[in-house]
Amino acid sequence: MNYVTRIKLIFIGLVFCCQNAFASMECQGKFPNLITDICWSCAFPIKFGSGALTMPISLDQEGTPDPGGSPVCLCGVNLGLKISFWEPVRHVDVVRKPFCMSALGGIDMNPGFNAPHSAREKKDNQKESSFYQAHWYIDPVFVVLEAVLDSACLEQNVFDVAYMTELDPLWNDDEMTSILNPDSFLFGNIISKVACAGDCVASSTGFGLNSLFWCAGCQGSMYPLNGHIDTHIGGVQASSLIVSRLIAKMHREGLMWAASGDSGMCGYYPQVLMDKTNYKYQMLFPTPQGKIGGKCCQPLGRTTIVWGAGKEIPGAGEDFSYMVFRKRNCCQGAF
């Protein structure tokens, strides 16, 4: 093999490698099939009434306690029946490339200005960190599909792109983010970090601990409420942490309200400190999450070792999309 031939082969190899590198940063995604991709069993357990008259339909899905007392409830002067369920209400993109709308089929929007791209780097040749952008969609699937008619207990909204971190100056700045979470300075010590192991165990066997509100279970720290991941283990772990942080951020900014417990019977109410037990989530892209042990969604913070295996696909599946289910307690018939 002569010198010129070697140079040509090296050049072709470099071009191929560069093309793969650029391809890996292309916007990836797809429109979810609302019928087949969404795990509808995540809406369970569904309960009617309370106490001795409770009629639960669980399908072996995980749930949280509901208000006790009489099965009959009152909103104003109107009587109703207590019900509870898990409503699919939000959709979250976690992407590497700014303005990549993964849930909209991988549309690459270009508004004409720059925003930080994703980054992965190692610190001290040991710990890897990363950064992602995220998008928050209002996606009340029950209403969109008209799966349940004439129920005021469902969120009466239409599909909308409600929040894009590329437009948020706090998302890429740890110091500015402290405006939202000044309490993060209290939990930067080793004792607080070690305590998060308890939240990891709790969320992997049930729901996370609200007493450890600064923890995101096995995914890492809930703070700062931005896109910087201090410990990047894998794309599924990192994107799951972004989902938890974004929900917490929406609550902190008053853009997401709670709907559970006695306070949610007659409507939504603000909740500045997110209740981690009010949420479950399911991966939709790159691979719709299937059932493992009869379950295809999980509480915030649950380890990704089991359900996340094989969900990150190099090149074609390094952006992620999730459906978020919120716990709903409601006085059905009282509106």
Q: Where are the domains of the chain?
A: 27-332
Confidence tier at 100 by pLDDT (50, 70, 90): very high
Cis peptide before 67 (omega within 30 of 0): no
Query: Which pLDDT does position 59 carry in this prediction?
Result: 81
CB-based contact 269:263 (threshold 8 Å) = yes
Say how far apart CA 151 and CA 148 lie, in whole Å: 7
| DSSP-derived 3-state class of residue 100 | strand
- Among 210, 214, 167, smallest CA distance to 193 is for 214
CB neighbourhood size of 98 (10 A):
21
* Band of residue 60 on the pLDDT scale cut at 50, 70, 90: confident
Interatomic CA distance for residues 39 and 297, integer angstroms: 8
What are the tens digits of pLDDT across the range 136-160? 999 999 887 776 566 789 998 889 9
Alpha carbon separation from 334 to 65, 133, 154, 266 (Å, rounded): 22, 41, 13, 8
Task: List % helix, strand, coil for the chain (3-state, nearest 5).
Answer: 30, 25, 45
Q: Is the pTM of this model over 0.85?
A: yes
Instruction: Answer whether the bond into residue 98 is a cis peptide, omega within 30°.
Output: no
Calpha distance 21→209 (Å, rounded): 41
Mind listing the pLDDT tens digit for each residue in 161-204? 999 999 999 999 988 998 888 888 888 788 999 999 999 999 99
Tokens representing 74 are 């009152």
CB-CB contact of 133 with 95 (8 Å): yes
Averaged over 72-101, what is the pLDDT?
94
Residue 304 per-residue DSSP state: S
* Region of poorest pLDDT, from 21-35, 67-81, 182-196, 228-242: 21-35
Cα–Cα distance measured from residue 161 to residue 247, given in angstroms and rounded to the nearest whole number: 15
Whether the pLDDT of residue 331 is over 90: the answer is: yes
Residue 329 has pLDDT above 70, yes or no: yes
The average pLDDT across 59-72 equals 89
SS3 209: coil
H-state helical runs in 186-282: 190-205, 235-252
